[in-house]
Structure 1
């Protein structure tokens, strides 16, 4: 018997990893002072704190409590969601605040711990309140009508995709262009070591993309979430609606990223003729491929993803792209310790793993 998978659980796991990253950033200059003390828990509360501290700690943990409470709502038998979410947040917060004792740029705080726990508690209360008034069950019924039972992973990837687009890419919607950066980082790590000479390096420099190639990458980047959704949505009108939502969210997320980076006046400055052609291509292909079966959509999504990653990672970024990154990195809220850039780098590879997993499972089931 196939059980329905909830998107809340993978989103909860991803969000917990992001909290760990944000709490321990920048992960360097670790030091041990000879003694580990939890005296910060009993210290008097500071007289002054900023609104940003309250927002980043309380609101930062609220989605964690919310997602865990929603995940527990679907378990049988029901667990005490509010208590477990608050307890988990307290343990996680205490662990991370304790690890901050080993980081010179971070200071453990009892206020941060209290705000984290309060935020998770509030998020869990909101989740239980929504369940009490029936909204969670309504969403479950809506999901049953629109999506297949095992759609949880796909829905989680679709929810993260607009956030990944907040990181500026050399090619709009071209996520996962990491090869050139990985090579530079690896050469820096092996610098002044004998392994650098034996490491195979490229003999030629990457060349900029041709306009037609850029349009193809834009089209593939917009088409991928549509094909991902088609794999878990069976009915054609619903596929059209989901594809329209995906394309709209992709365009709005890219515009918001440009607006936060350069100002609202430049929100649509990234829309070039190549982007327009690619967007039209994506729209036409999304309409045509809505006729395909779910398995065919998985196969086409995998092929499109491999093609896009190949095109992106064998081309050089634009001349002005480093300046774009420099401007983006100055934004505190949009950057958030570099979390968004990790989403932009890793989302297509997470999609790759998901597609391979689903296709291999479908092949195993078909043979059985």
Structure 2
């Protein structure tokens, strides 16, 4: 009797792309806010021989540990099947040590950040925990399993990149935004960079708006457009990754539901419970309804059309969110949050909010879509 041969182990594109994105996230979070660089006469490696900080909290320690756990997991997944077991754990440990040490050394030149040997210890611990978890989870996620079988049944073989981008969309809601799903607001960042470079205040918002005074109705219309286009683009991106056999409607609305729940929880935790649903403005309500109507029809469109329309929707949202000013209430709310002490967390959240549309464009315009999908 013939014995069926097991499929050979293959590298995970999902893990490797995820590792690169998470690496960028750590770098941005560690070096946020990227302003005020200067040489204060302290050697970059001085923190290695420095004392432990006099003031620290359990929250800070746990955040530093937990922040590097996904990095360790992704390292173990990314090197599979070439490196496994103890080798993958050691590689995650070394990678975490080098990354954390580099970030702490770079923080020496940022007056708003403080390099600490405690941060290195906690980050390395997180990488080690992640490496161990990654090795233990490898059979479930990367080898023959019901989970992997389900993924192959529901998603195209090249869907790993898209799944990562889609899974980052709910997390991008954590950072306070002037408009619901208003990601990619790069004009304020460019204004800050130009101000530092030219050593004088630069306000690109004012230049782009040409001193136009927007009415309340125009603000509502802008938020409706941003919300509708942002939601439609994100859901269409997910649909592009799905095979016809997948429960497309269920997965799409699960993504939207998880995103809105996380948005509400973030508002409640970062500000107060009374602000949990502050995002549900009249403009956002209209945008959600318009997006639902568009998606009902577009869900039946060919995948090529869905991909192109997703690019168009996200591009419209990106343009409008960078042309419209933020209302004074939102700016006051954002100021009270950004001045908090959790700069790493603030920087990571801002990074996701700003960069998510560009991750989406990268996936939707990737050359792999020109090849016949299976």
| TM-score interval (norm. to shorter) | 0.7 to 0.9
* Structure 1 residue 260 corresponds to structure 2 residue 269: yes
Residue 47 to residue 214, structure 1, CA distance change in 2 (3 Å): closer
Q: Which runs of 5+ in 2 are unaligned?
A: 1-9
Aligned to 1:280: 289
In the superposition, the TM-score normalised over structure 2's length comes to 0.81
State how far apart, in whole Å, the 1-side matches of 2:63 and 2:39 are.
26
Does the aligned pair in 2 maintain the 1:255–1:268 contact within 8 Å? yes
Aligned to 1:131: 138
* Structure 1 residue 182 corresponds to structure 2 residue 209: no
Which 10-residue stretch deviates more, 334-343 or 152-161?
334-343
Aligned to 1:165: 173
Q: Deviations over 1:72-123 (max 9, x none)?
A: 23x3475721111111112222333333444455454443323222211111
* Structure 1 residue 153 corresponds to structure 2 residue 161: yes
Aligned to 2:23: 16
State how far apart, in whole Å, the 2-side matches of 1:262 and 1:59 are.
22
Aligned to 2:307: 298
State how far apart, in whole Å, the 2-side matches of 1:19 and 1:324 are.
25
State how far apart, in whole Å, the 1-side matches of 2:326 and 2:37 are.
32
Aligned-residue offset at 1:275: 2.0
Residue 332 to residue 171, structure 1, CA distance change in 2 (3 Å): same
Q: Aligned to 2:123, which of 116, 121, 142? A: 116
Residue 45 to residue 348, structure 1, CA distance change in 2 (3 Å): closer
Q: Aligned to 2:67, which of 56, 60, 67? A: 60
> Aligned to 2:266, what secondary structure does the other structure show?
helix
> Aligned to 1:207, what secondary structure does the other structure show?
coil
Q: Deviations over 1:139-164 (max 9, x none)?
A: 32222111111112111111211121
State how far apart, in whole Å, the 2-side matches of 1:11 and 1:25 are.
21
State how far apart, in whole Å, the 1-side matches of 2:219 and 2:209 are.
21
Aligned-residue offset at 1:353: 3.0
Residue 96 to residue 291, structure 1, CA distance change in 2 (3 Å): same
Residue 154 to residue 206, structure 1, CA distance change in 2 (3 Å): farther
Does the aligned pair in 2 maintain the 1:215–1:278 contact within 8 Å? yes
Aligned to 1:143: 151
State how far apart, in whole Å, the 2-side matches of 1:141 and 1:237 are.
12
How do residues 87-126 of structure 1 correspond to structure 2 at under 5 angstroms?
Answer: 87-104=94-111, 106-126=113-133
State how far apart, in whole Å, the 2-side matches of 1:123 and 1:241 are.
31
State how far apart, in whole Å, the 1-side matches of 2:192 and 2:120 are.
38
In the superposition, the TM-score normalised over structure 1's length comes to 0.83
Does the aligned pair in 1 maintain the 2:175–2:346 contact within 8 Å? no
> Aligned to 2:304, what secondary structure does the other structure show?
helix
* Structure 1 residue 271 corresponds to structure 2 residue 283: no
Aligned to 1:336: 345
Residue 183 to residue 333, structure 1, CA distance change in 2 (3 Å): closer
Q: Aligned to 2:356, which of 339, 347, 354? A: 347
Does the aligned pair in 2 maintain the 1:4–1:149 contact within 8 Å? no
Q: Deviations over 1:326-349 (max 9, x none)?
A: 233245459724321222122112
State how far apart, in whole Å, the 1-side matches of 2:329 and 2:54 are.
46
State how far apart, in whole Å, the 2-side matches of 1:201 and 1:216 are.
19
Does the aligned pair in 2 maintain the 1:219–1:282 contact within 8 Å? yes
Q: Which runs of 5+ in 1 are unaligned?
A: none
Does the aligned pair in 1 maintain the 2:17–2:161 contact within 8 Å? yes
Q: Deviations over 1:237-279 (max 9, x none)?
A: 5211221111102211221232134311221132133322221
Number of residue pairs the alignment of both structures matches:
354
